[in-house]
Amino acid sequence: MTSDDSAVVELTDVRKEYSDSVALDGLSLTIRAGEAVAVMGPSGSGKSTLLNMVAGLDRPTSGSVVVNGEDLGRLSETGLALYRRRRIGMIFQFFNLLDDLPALDNVALAAQLTGTSPAQARRRALELLDELGIAGRRNVYPARLSGGERQRVAVARALMNRPALLLADEPTGALDSRAGEQVMDLLLDLNQIGQTLLLVTHDEGLATRCASRLVEVVDGRVARESRLERTP
């Protein structure tokens, strides 16, 4: 695969071995700016490992992972942390919000880590919560928010530092259908305004609705790629 100037993510022949198994077996994948790519596959196929590689949460045994021109394999642990802080945003199936902080402070946290002042971070967080329609719940703690609201807070937090790439791991997996729909709409809207998106999901509905390309992973390899026509 040749390097592509518009590529945000380039995985080349990535292999990841654990002590008793191979999670990724020479996987290559390119994601271009503005794309929304959904990764699907059976349990244990290597989807989450793929996401961890792109997020810089794990390192490949061999091969390279380049995001926004930065080879993650060359970065130290601190370098990877700074990469996660500045380049990507992540949302998870189980939200991973801090229970001790209200919605607004959970969102502002991401900016505060970059050295933004508390007041400025809160202003930006409030804007995002407003855009996502939950500004009224800004002072509520995660335990008192619904699942859909928690995921919106998580999305706001992920967008806080204007990431080049938004990573989502089963973002609707823990939500009821109505909340899931809302989150799907949100992701679609984000992609339509240019946000590059990498989704890992079991949910075919989510994939076909939000993604422009579907990558099927089986046994740690890309088994099939297809363009998707988004369903309304």
Partner 1 sequence: MSAVWRVARAAARRRRLQTIVIGVVVGVSTATMVLALGLLTSASAPFDRAHQQQSGAHLVAVFDGPGDGLAETAGRPAVAAAAGPFAQVTVDVAMTSRIGMPLTVAGRADPGGAVDRLTVWQGRWADAPGEIVLNEPPGERGPWSLGERVDVAGGRTFTVVGFAYSVSRSADAWVTPAQMSALNPDSAQMLYRFTAAGTAEEIAAAETAVTAGLPLLGTQSYLTLKQEVAAETAVYIPLLIVFGVLGMAVAVLIVANVISGAVVAGYRHIGVLKALGFTSNQVLAVYLLMVTVPAVVGCVLGAVLGHVTAVPLLADAFAGFGTTEIAIDAWVYALAALGMPAVVVVTALLAALRARGLSAAQAISAGSAPSVGRALAVQRVLSGARLPRSVSLGLGVPFARPARSALTLAAIVLGVMTVTLASGVTTSVTSYRAAVEPPTENRVELLAAPPRGFPGPQRLPEPTLSDAEDEALLRSLPGAAAVAAVARLPVGVVGGDPAEVYFHRGDRDLGPVVLSGHWPAAPDEVAVPSRFLNQRGLSLGDAITVEFDGDRTRLRVVGVVLTNPADEVYASWSALTALAPGTRAHSYLVELRPGSDRQAYVDAAADGDPGLTPIPPDEGGSSQAVVLIGFATLMTLVLAAVSALGVFNTVVLISRERRRDLGMLKSIGMTPRQVTVMMVTSMGVLGVVGGLIGLPLGVAAHALIAPAMMRAAQADVLDIVMDVYHAPLLALLALAGVVIAVLGAYLPARGAGRATIAEVLHTE
Binding positions for partner 1, rule: CB under 8 A: 48, 52, 55, 57-58, 77-78, 81-86, 89-90, 92-94, 96-102, 105, 108-110, 112-114, 117-119, 122, 141-144, 157-158, 161, 169
For 104-125, letters b (16+ CB in 10 Å) and e give bbbbbbbbbbeebeeeebbebb
CB of 9 to partner 1, least distance (A): 17
Question: Using CA atoms, how far apart are residues 54 and 42, in angstroms rounded to an integer?
Answer: 19
CB of 220 to partner 1, least distance (A): 16
- Look up residue 52 and give its amino acid: N
Q: Which CB atom, from 85 or from 230, has the smaller least distance to partner 1?
A: 85
Q: Which CB atom, from 92 or from 214, has the smaller least distance to partner 1?
A: 92
Q: Which residue has the tokens 């998106």?
A: 197
Q: Which CB atom, from 126 or from 228, has the smaller least distance to partner 1?
A: 126
CB of 217 to partner 1, least distance (A): 15
CB of 232 to partner 1, least distance (A): 30
Grouping H, G, I as helix, E, B as strand and the rest as coil, residue 162 is coil
Residue 131, token pair as written in the block: 């855009």
Q: Which CB atom, from 86 or from 213, has the smaller least distance to partner 1?
A: 86
CB of 58 to partner 1, least distance (A): 5
Handedness of CA 45, 51, 54, 59 (dihedral sign): negative
Q: Which CB atom, from 30 or from 48, has the smaller least distance to partner 1?
A: 48
CB of 167 to partner 1, least distance (A): 9
Report how far apart the first and last C-alpha atoms of the chain are (Å, whole number). Answer: 33
CB of 152 to partner 1, least distance (A): 16
Question: Using CA atoms, how far apart are residues 63 and 90, in angstroms rounded to an integer?
Answer: 23
Instruction: Return the HEC string of 116-127.
Output: CCHHHHHHHHHH
Q: Which residue has the tokens 């989704």?
A: 199
Q: Which CB atom, from 33 or from 113, has the smaller least distance to partner 1?
A: 113
Longest dimension (CA), the chain: 49
CA–CA–CA angle 87, 169, 99 (5° rounding): 85
Q: Which CB atom, from 6 or from 117, has the smaller least distance to partner 1?
A: 117
